[in-house]
Amino acid sequence: MEKVNILLVDDHPENLVALEAILDSPFYCLIKAASGVEALKHLLLDEFALILLDVAMPDLDGFETAVLIKKRPKLRDIPIIFLTAFSKEEPFIFRGYSVGAVDYVFKPFEPMVLRSKVAVFAELFRNREQIKRQGELLRQSERREHERRFLEQEWASQKRYRHLADAVPQIIWTAGRDGAVDYFNQQWHLYTGLTLEQCEGWKWKRAIHPEDLPRLLQQWREALKRGSGWKLNAG
């Protein structure tokens, strides 16, 4: 089972130590933050399954930190469990839910309750990640299948084209963007007596009379720049 990151946020070191002791597990990577600002920095660097966030912190309290987290699209889906030793009254609790909390844990921590809550969200995270990986594998498989079909269609199209090109009495060839020839029809081979291996790429120049070659090469390069066809006329 893969480890998941859990962010522990509390301005009291003793509370962080207590959280670490309760949640110590080979399945969790526990990352500590002593303030809301420090928590935000961690969230920008790593992916987290869950945030345990203290409500009462100086400068930037838990509610304010939660609001900032939920404003960021990449972070807004991370579950937040608020930690508090203060009021259990409904207005206080509702405020936490209104800023994005999914649950509350009250201090002092009850180990079994805390571990159970964390385990649920850790498992949900693993399931989501597994679904994402499966989705990506499916998309990769679909892309490979699409590429395979495209290559089959491309090959069939080239095959039909070459059959047609071999049937005409004129010389026909094709080349890549760099001007290197990758195909000659049968008329070329009959006319020059050269095999494809002897004239592919730029080796076709050997079939041209040396006096005609500079002019024909210039015409060929201009045709490549224009992206247009070119009719070889050595006369």
Residue 31 and residue 44: Cα distance in Å, rounded?
A: 13
Say what the pLDDT of residue 164 is: 80
**E strands present in 15-136:** 28-33, 50-54, 80-84, 101-106
| Contact in structure between 82 and 101 (CB atoms under 8 Å) | yes
- Residue ranges in the chain modelled with pLDDT below 50: 234-235
Say what the pLDDT of residue 64 is: 93
Parallel, antiparallel, or unpaired for β 173-175 and 181-184? Answer: antiparallel
Domain 4-135 sits in CATH 3.30.390.30: no
- Show the tokens assigned to 34: 């002593």
Q: Which residues pair with 201 in a beta bridge?
A: 181
Say what the pLDDT of residue 235 is: 47
Say what the pLDDT of residue 90 is: 66
Model pTM score: 0.57
**Average pLDDT in the chain:** 85
- Show the tokens assigned to 217: 């090469």
- Show the tokens assigned to 141: 């498989």
Q: Which residue has the tokens 């693993």?
A: 126
Say what the pLDDT of residue 68 is: 94
